[in-house]
Amino acid sequence: MTKDMVNKLDRGFQLFCAFLLALSVSLLMAIIVLRELFGISYDFLVDTTVWLTIWSMLLLSGPLFGEGGHIAIKALLERIPGKFRLAVEFFNTLCTLIFVAVVTYGGVLLIHTLYSQHQVYPRYIAIPMWMVQICVPIALFLFSIYAIAGLYRIVQRMRA
């Protein structure tokens, strides 16, 4: 895959997440109008807006990490010179990757459990829990890909 194609896929993915967030905001506005003007309120619509917001934010965590836009304390890291700084960056990114991989595996186990036990949210419409929570292992798997790419970039800088 060329770098241009990867950038286009990344941008398309970010636009998809922005669409999910915009859909969530639009649903929220519709819920407010329905409640205030017509006195109608559906709990599954309220839940859907929360789920869409969480999905979009979780899914965006990978691209955000890839761009260095995550929350970090860089004041100390910026004072470290040369190769040692790269080694610390490598160690930090490796720890992040290990953590995300473990949580991804835990998410897969959770989804399997929810699916096999037929767990549902007790709402107006019974929604299977695995359908809502599947975004956790998917988002963290994608985050892992960005972390691996980050490790690769650090190794390339170490070799230069």
What total of structural domains would you count in the chain?
A: 1
- Tell whether the model's pLDDT for residue 94 goes beyond 90: yes
Residue 24: which domain range? 3-159
In whole angstroms, give the CA distance from residue 121 to residue 136: 17
Question: In terms of C-beta distances under 8 Å and separation of at least 24 residues, what long-range contacts does 112-120 make, across chains too?
Answer: none
Site of tokens 């890909």: 145
pLDDT, one tens digit per residue, over 106-134 is: 999 999 999 999 999 887 778 889 998 99
**Which pLDDT belongs to residue 108?**
96
Tell me the pLDDT of the chain averaged across its residues. 88
What is the share, in percent, of the chain residues with pLDDT greater than 90?
A: 41
